[in-house]
Structure 1
């Protein structure tokens, strides 16, 4: 498929047919990541939820009793000697 770049302010845009977007699971309004590799522009869906699944994993750790502190809490015994 051939297309042309359209001037949009100081940038450029391209119209991408809906069936082509559907092939990567994208639709108008989705966030995408753009990279350049070997002279080609690569477009892929952006990961919008970097912490997806953390809440469930935390609940599972708690259920298994594996949610204790890894680092102990530090005492304040020597704080009086600190100079501010």
Structure 2
């Protein structure tokens, strides 16, 4: 698809067709990663969008508890090397 560069205040931009935004599940408030690689401008969805809000909702609902007990067994103590020296 061909697009034209337009002026947006003191910057330049392009209009992204809504069909592309829907395919990528993006909106006007979405965060994206923008980079140039080998002469190509790439715009990629930020993979962690909404994670902070989802974590806050989980915590508020009490859904962020451990599913398994956080304990170390003999295999962990004998077979793994811990950088901080803790066992």
TM surpasses 0.5: yes
> Under a length normalisation based on structure 2, what TM-score does the superposition of the two structures give?
0.55
Please tell me whether residue 59 in structure 1 is matched to residue 65 in structure 2.
yes
RMSD: 3.3
- Structure 1 spans left out of the alignment, 5+ residues: 72-84
* Rounded Cα–Cα distance in structure 2 between residues aligned with 1:64 and 1:19: 43
Q: How many residues align?
A: 67
- 4+ residue runs over 3 A deviation: 50-56
* Rounded Cα–Cα distance in structure 1 between residues aligned with 2:45 and 2:12: 19
Please name the residue that 2:2 is paired with.
2
Deviation, 1:34, is 0.7
- Structure 2 spans left out of the alignment, 5+ residues: 73-83
